[in-house]
Structures are given as C-alpha cells and as structure tokens.
Structure 1
Amino acid sequence: MNLPIGARVRHFRGTRQQDVIAGLAGISVDYYSQIERGLRIPTIAVLHRIAQELGVPVAALLSEGTTVTVTAEDTAAPSIARALMGFGPPRSTDPAGPEVLRERVEAAWRSWQSSPTRFTDAADVLPDLITDTEHAVRAHRTGDSERRRETLRVSADLYFLLRSYLRRAGRTDLSMMAADRAVRAAEDADDPLRIAAAQWNLGHALLAAGDPDAAEQVARKGSEQLKHRAQGGDADCAAMAGALQLVTVMASARRKDWWAARDRLRSAAAPAAKQAGEGNVMWTVFGPTNVALHAMSIEMEAGEASEALHDADQIDTSRLPSLERRFTFLLEVARCHDLRREDPAVLLHLLQAEQLAPEDLSRAELARTMVVGLMRRARAMQARQAEQLAGRMDML
C-alpha cells in the first residue's frame, strides 16, 4: 500500500502530541498539522527532522509517488490458481459421483454467500474441489449420458463460484477463464438455465475487465435465449432473465449513461423482480431488494449522494441470502456519505462493514480509498480510528 507521506507521519506519531513533534522538529504546529492532513509536502530537511523525532528512517515516511495507490493486491490463494491451471495432484482413483460433488459445490456456495471468513474458507476447499470435479468430468466423457450431464452441471456451478471468488481476489484474468469454462460446461450439459447463468457470470467478468459493451451483448443474448421459457411460466428462467437485465443496467452505468441505466432498471429489471419475488436462482440473489440496491448504486456512481441515501433508507438487506450484497450496501452507503464529506457516518458504515465481512473490506478498493481519505482529512479522533482500521486492513 502506497500511503501518502502525511498518513505515514501520523501513523508513526502514534499517541504523541502534534505540538511536541512539531516543536522538536523546529516547525509550527499548523505546518505540522497540514503535513499530516496531506495539505503540505515537507522539504527533505523538514522530513529528516520529523523522522528523527519519530525514531524512524526517512525512507519509512517517503511514498513512491505523490498519488495514492489503493488498488487491492492479488489475494487469490496460490493453491486455487494452481488447481485452476491444471497443476493439482493427479487423480488415479475412481472419480467422485456427481451427487457427492453436488453436495460439496453447494456447501462451498453456501459458505461463499454467508461466511464472514469466506475467502479463507474458499482457499481451504476449492483446490481439491476443482481437481476432483475436473477428474470426474474427464472420467464421464463416455458412458451414461445423464450422469455425464449432471457432472457438467456441477462443473458449471463450481466455475460460477470461481468466477466470483477470483474477481474479488484481484485476479480478473483468471476470473474470465473461469467464466469461459462455465459457459463451455453449461453448453456441454445442454442446460438452458445454466447456459443463461453462465452468460450472466461472463457478463460480470466482462464488466470487471472494463468492457461494458461486450457485457451487454452477452446479457442480451442470454435474455433472448430465455425469452420463451420465461414467458411460458418457468419461474427460474424468468428470474434468470431479470438478473441478465441487471447486467445491461450495470453496463449502461459503467458507460456513465445514467438515464439509460435508470430506464432499463425501471422498465425491464424492476417488473421482472416483482414477478419473480425474492430469490437466489443460480446464486444471483435476484429480486426486488437487489433491484433496489442497483438503483441506489446508480445514483451513487452518478454522484447523486442525497438521492442514493434516500433510496438506501427504503432498503432492508437483513433477509438477503448473500453476505456480499449486504456488505456492498454498507460500503456504498459509506461512499455516499464520503461524497458529502460526512466523516463520522463514513467511519461508522466502514466499521459496520468490517464487522460483517472483514475479509471483504480488506480487499475492497473503494474501502481502502475512503480509509485513506479519512486519515488525511478527518478530525483527530476519527482519523485515529481510521488509522487503526487501516492497520487491521493491512494497509500500513
């Protein structure tokens, strides 16, 4: 983490008073305070004197540049990446049956959607699960066709999970690979619902890779393929079609076409969510609450913080099956307060997000940006709390 000089000075000062360090360094308290808040860049001579009084080398206070780099690092477990690339241990035993693999994949999904330590949990179970599932897919290339299809369905569901994990662990490249494998597994299984879910996952991977146009094309294709099934009364397909509509909404938002995003959400996604009700088809968490969360996100990204907070007041995330969606809600509420420079509210919601999902907070680029902002500009007590939070997030 490349923290600004001021944040580093504040960190090493600890509980000592500003006026004491300023006096010993031979500068005014006001000048010293401006250094800590990032308003002034000290000369090397001044920085040397401050470092001497703090008892640290000058290098400890120097950042590599004048900008703040807050992008989360690659936090994907190496064992997962190795297994995904085919470097897992060889499987010479009989493959696990699709029923056993199904139980394991669904257990992994439940953990991913509900555990506050979901990254740690995933690192424990996914490597073997990837290897065992790939072994089963290879073993069932011939023989009973329905057993082969069920194994491929399990494989697609596993790669849906891997796409989500890898994206949030900072491996957009491997996330795209997982999304592509999910598409192939779903198509080989000839399962319309999973094909649509695979396109939903691919759309999210493309959004993360910065290609909203391609994401929208994929989502529209998936929606069109589900159209007749959804109209025929298949509730799961109708919900999946609605989830795909949200991908097109997000694509418009990524292009900063706020009016198109609002219109698509109001005219397509919201009616589909009303029809489908609250649910979690193919782990999409699609329903009225998720649509409301996207409406709030649009306003936040558009810079309409007051409107977004108004929307947030109407949202109850407590019954959502996805911890991630509840976490994202808290993070985006914090961002709205951040846009309004309401530092106590920013800190409050960041701390709530930490309590809910500490591993997610440490990996969230937006959270890291807000913590740095608080350390630079907040009042002393809040800045100290932000600094303590930064330490728990491994930013210092």
Structure 2
Amino acid sequence: MAAVTTWTGREANALRQALRMSVTGFAEHLGAARRTVAKWSSQGNKVHLRADMQAALDTVLARATSDVRERFEALVRGGTSGALAGPATLPVRDTQTHTGEGGIHDFDSDGDVRRRDLLTGVTISGIALPNVAALLTALVAPRPCNIEPIALPIRQFGREVAAAKTDYQACRYEQVLARLVALLAAVEPTRAEAEGEQRTQVDALASDLYHVVGSVLLKVGDKGAALVAAERSARAAESSQDPVAMAASARIMTHALMSNGHGTQGRQLAEDAAEHLRRGSGLASTDAVAVYGALLLRGAIAAARDDNRDNAQAMLDEASRAADRLGYDGNDRWTGFGATNVLLHRVNIALTLGDAGTAIALARQVPLDKIDLAERRASLFVDVARAYTQWGRYEHGLNALRNAYEVAPEEIRCRPAVQRIASDLAVLARGRVRSAALDFAQHAGIRV
C-alpha cells in the first residue's frame, strides 16, 4: 500500500485500531501523551499532526505486519471524517480497575493470564528472567514455599535493602531480583520481632523495599504487579509515620499509576504529596528536599504524558528551585536528585511532548560527568536514541543505543522501549546503518 502523505487524526486513529490498541497503549507505544492520542480519535481529520509525530507514525506503519496494514487500509477507506467508523470486530484492550482489601489493583484485561505465564518463567522483553517469577511469587504469596522466612536484625535488614537499591541503580537486575526475593520473605518476620521505634524503622525500610520491587516490575513490563508493590510501599510508609518515607512511597505510586493509564491521578498524587511534605517537614533536611524535588519531577512526567505542558513546566521549575536549595547532585534517599537530574527530566519531558529536536538540544547540555548512577545515564542515552530515531537520524540513534549498552547492558536488554527503537532502526535504516543496527541487536540480545 502507498505511504501516508500527511497524517491527520483520522489516519492515526485508523492505525491505532488496526493495531488493536487502546488509546493509552497507543500513546505509550508512540511516546505521546494520552490526551493527544484521544484528541486524534475524537477530532479526526480536523487535527493535523506535528512533523515529529508524522515521522513516528511512519515508523509504526513501516514495521507493521501485513495483517495490520490491510486492516489500516480498510479503515482509511471506510471512514471519512472524525473518529473512524471501523468494524466492530476490532477490539481494543481496556484497563480494568479492581478495588479490594489490599487497595487499588489495576491490571490489563489479560493481566491475570500474563501473570500466570510469568509465574512459570516466561521470556520478558526478549530475555528470560526466571527470577521475575520468583519475585512475583514472593510478592503475592504470604509464605513462599521455597524460602524459609527468617527475621533479620534491623541493621542487617537495612543493609540488605540499601544493597538492593544500589543494585537497582547500577542496573544489576539479575542480582537485585535474587536479593529482593529473599528480602520479601523476611519483611513480616522482621517486623513481628521489632517493637516500638524499631518497628517504625522496619516499616520505613519495608517501604523502600517495595519501592524497589515496583521499580523492577515496571522495568520488565508488569505494570499491574508494580501497582500492587507500590500500594504496599505506601502502606508500610504510612505505618512508619515518617513523612519522608510517605513522600518517597508516593514516587513509586505515581509511576505505577501513570504506567497503568492513570496519569492525571498520578500527577495529582505527586503534587499533593510534595506539598504535604513541604508543609509537614519544612524541607529542613536534605532527604526531604531531595524527595520533594524527585516527586515534582515524577509529577511533571505524568503531566507531560497527559499533554499538560503548563503543569509539567511549573513542576519542573519548582523542582529546579529545590535543586538549587539542595546545592549539589546527590543520591539522598535514593533519589539521584539535583540540578543535573532536573535537566535529564527536561530531556525526557520534551520527548514525551513530541519535541524531539528540543530533547536533543537539551541532552547536549547535560554534564555526563555529573551522572553517577548507571540507570540514569543509560536512560538519557535511550531518550537520545529515541529522539534521533524519530527525527530520522538513524546512525545517531544507533550510536546512542551503543552508548547506553556500554553503560548498562542489562538495562538495554530489559526495556521494551529499547526493543521498539532497535526494531525501528532495523526497519527504517538502510545500507550499512541497517546492517550495523541488526548486528548490534544480535550482540545485545535484543529481538527485532
């Protein structure tokens, strides 16, 4: 079929339906805001897309299967304006929210099936991670049958949680998975033996532990289970009555809500939690300032994904003021917060809002020598790769992916976003760049 000359909301919506994706899923696939994709759906050919989104849709259509292309062509022929009148046999995946005694649990409609697959050790994001199955079992089972629950001395428990945080930030995911499985089994026995002030300490540590669990699950694409872990982080933090712990747990809850399609709720939670921390603590400690700023950055991302530019900019600016107040690039309360981190988020948010050129210009301003955390450095290179690929500068995109792989190989093998970039390069690049992209994907263990 012929390529689309000019993408309007009508053609974009046809492609979404042909792919059988929800509005939320299509937005995540493109790296666009959900509100933007919803506008395409509702306003049809009245909306003319920006050049960067035109290029992104060209990419998606180019790599689509023949079945998807046939459905797309039929939908384009069948609709005339506004939302396409596609056939009723094109289902999209909805998100179902269930609220029970354990709090809010948000799963895709096929989440239970996927979770059963995970518990048997499926391949996630192109790589086998059998320890993910063990992690999920440890998360959902009160007493994992293959692990003897043993109470740990509080100092040891704290050291182990800190080690898990360190492994995660260093992108040592296989290592952190094994550590988390053992720690989850130790939470309740350790808490049961603690009393008074010590129990409060265990609760705060447990909140950090569940935060890491949620972060890892988001990395491997299990958004529903990540929300369960985030809820447990929030519950443990509330039990501790530590205002910094409660605000820190709101970071992972915001991330999980956002990843499950609840961007508005996630942004509001981050905003409210940051304000509560500011008022309750007076931002008197470096931990409080760092968590406050990191919460605002997470909220800014949620706002950007909801296409709320003004709110995203306001939260970025307030986070920048917090970074100035902190005065250095650090890792207080495992936030990696500071002025450099604010700039990294400006890159990501520009890309989320569809401004690939702005994202690249901002990325050139980042002082790489001030990024100590492998996870943050690799994420920057992935954002740059995605921006260059959307911009049609495929060799630059490939070089950025190579840089990310040198920093954190497990990060590159793990992230679904990297697979999409690698697949785009394999489809869109030509000649030696395409051959190099395929060689890189094979070497890195990325399926394209």
Which residue in the other structure is 1:122 paired with?
176
Letter in 2 for 1:271: R
2:164 paired with 1:112: no
1:34-70 CA deviation, whole Å, 9 max, x = no partner?
xxxx9799xxxxxxxxxxxxxxxxxxxx877559xxx
Letter in 2 for 1:334: A
Tell me the TM-score normalised to structure 2 length: 0.68
1:127-185 CA deviation, whole Å, 9 max, x = no partner?
11110123212343xxx311211221221111111111111111111111111111111
Rounded Cα–Cα distance in structure 2 between residues aligned with 1:260 and 1:230: 24
Match of 2:320 among 242, 250, 270: 270
Alpha carbons 2:62, 2:428 under 8 Å: kept = no
Alpha carbons 1:163, 1:179 under 8 Å: kept = yes
Letter in 2 for 1:191: D
Which residue in the other structure is 1:78 paired with?
133
Which residue in the other structure is 2:206 paired with?
155
Alpha carbons 1:318, 1:326 under 8 Å: kept = no
Match of 2:369 among 318, 321, 327: 318
Alpha carbons 1:280, 1:321 under 8 Å: kept = no
Q: Could you say what secondary structure the match of 2:201 adopts? A: helix
2:347 paired with 1:291: no
Q: Name the CA shift for 1:385/1:154 in 2 (closer, same or farther; >3 Å).
A: same
Rounded Cα–Cα distance in structure 2 between residues aligned with 1:40 and 1:96: 51
Q: CA deviation at 1:221?
A: 2.2
Match of 1:359 among 410, 422, 427: 410
Which residue in the other structure is 2:74 paired with?
none
Rounded Cα–Cα distance in structure 2 between residues aligned with 1:91 and 1:378: 49
Q: Could you say what secondary structure the match of 1:77 adopts? A: helix
Letter in 2 for 1:72: S
Q: Name the CA shift for 1:89/1:135 in 2 (closer, same or farther; >3 Å).
A: farther
Which residue in the other structure is 1:338 paired with?
389
Which residue in the other structure is 2:116 paired with?
none
Which residue in the other structure is 2:187 paired with?
133
Q: CA deviation at 1:249?
A: 1.1
Which residue in the other structure is 1:186 paired with?
237
Q: Name the CA shift for 1:127/1:147 in 2 (closer, same or farther; >3 Å).
A: same
Alpha carbons 1:305, 1:337 under 8 Å: kept = yes
Rounded Cα–Cα distance in structure 2 between residues aligned with 1:198 and 1:63: 44
Q: Name the CA shift for 1:379/1:99 in 2 (closer, same or farther; >3 Å).
A: same
Q: Name the CA shift for 1:232/1:100 in 2 (closer, same or farther; >3 Å).
A: closer
Rounded Cα–Cα distance in structure 1 between residues aligned with 2:149 and 2:412: 40
1:233-273 CA deviation, whole Å, 9 max, x = no partner?
3332122212221122112101112233223312x111111
Match of 1:385 among 436, 439, 445: 436
Rounded Cα–Cα distance in structure 2 between residues aligned with 1:395 and 1:281: 37
Greater Rg over alpha carbons, structure: 1
Q: CA deviation at 1:93?
A: 7.4
Alpha carbons 2:255, 2:266 under 8 Å: kept = yes
Rounded Cα–Cα distance in structure 1 between residues aligned with 2:304 and 2:312: 6
Rounded Cα–Cα distance in structure 2 between residues aligned with 1:275 and 1:79: 42
CA RMSD of aligned residues (A): 2.8
Q: CA deviation at 1:288?
A: 0.6
Q: Name the CA shift for 1:301/1:166 in 2 (closer, same or farther; >3 Å).
A: same
Which residue in the other structure is 2:155 paired with?
99
Q: CA deviation at 1:303?
A: 2.5
Moved over 6 A (4+): 38-41, 90-93
Alpha carbons 1:338, 1:370 under 8 Å: kept = yes
Q: Name the CA shift for 1:92/1:322 in 2 (closer, same or farther; >3 Å).
A: closer
Q: Name the CA shift for 1:94/1:382 in 2 (closer, same or farther; >3 Å).
A: closer
- Most deviating of 216-225 and 74-83: 74-83
Q: Name the CA shift for 1:232/1:150 in 2 (closer, same or farther; >3 Å).
A: closer
Alpha carbons 1:262, 1:298 under 8 Å: kept = no
Q: Name the CA shift for 1:199/1:111 in 2 (closer, same or farther; >3 Å).
A: same
* Equivalent residue runs for 1:181-260 within 5 Å: 181-231=232-282, 233-260=284-311
Letter in 2 for 1:292: L
* Equivalent residue runs for 1:299-310 within 5 Å: 299-310=350-361
In structure 2, runs of 5+ residues without a counterpart are 1-60, 71-123
1:178-205 CA deviation, whole Å, 9 max, x = no partner?
1111111111111111011011211111
- Most deviating of 204-213 and 311-320: 311-320
Rounded Cα–Cα distance in structure 2 between residues aligned with 1:82 and 1:201: 20
- How many residues were matched structurally? 333
Which residue in the other structure is 1:15 paired with?
none
Rounded Cα–Cα distance in structure 2 between residues aligned with 1:330 and 1:228: 36
Letter in 2 for 1:121: Q
Letter in 2 for 1:388: D
Rounded Cα–Cα distance in structure 2 between residues aligned with 1:172 and 1:95: 29
Q: Could you say what secondary structure the match of 1:120 adopts? A: helix
Alpha carbons 2:385, 2:396 under 8 Å: kept = yes
Alpha carbons 1:91, 1:132 under 8 Å: kept = no
Letter in 1 for 2:186: D
Alpha carbons 1:229, 1:237 under 8 Å: kept = no
Q: CA deviation at 1:82?
A: 0.7
Letter in 2 for 1:82: T
Q: Name the CA shift for 1:82/1:64 in 2 (closer, same or farther; >3 Å).
A: farther
Q: CA deviation at 1:220?
A: 2.1
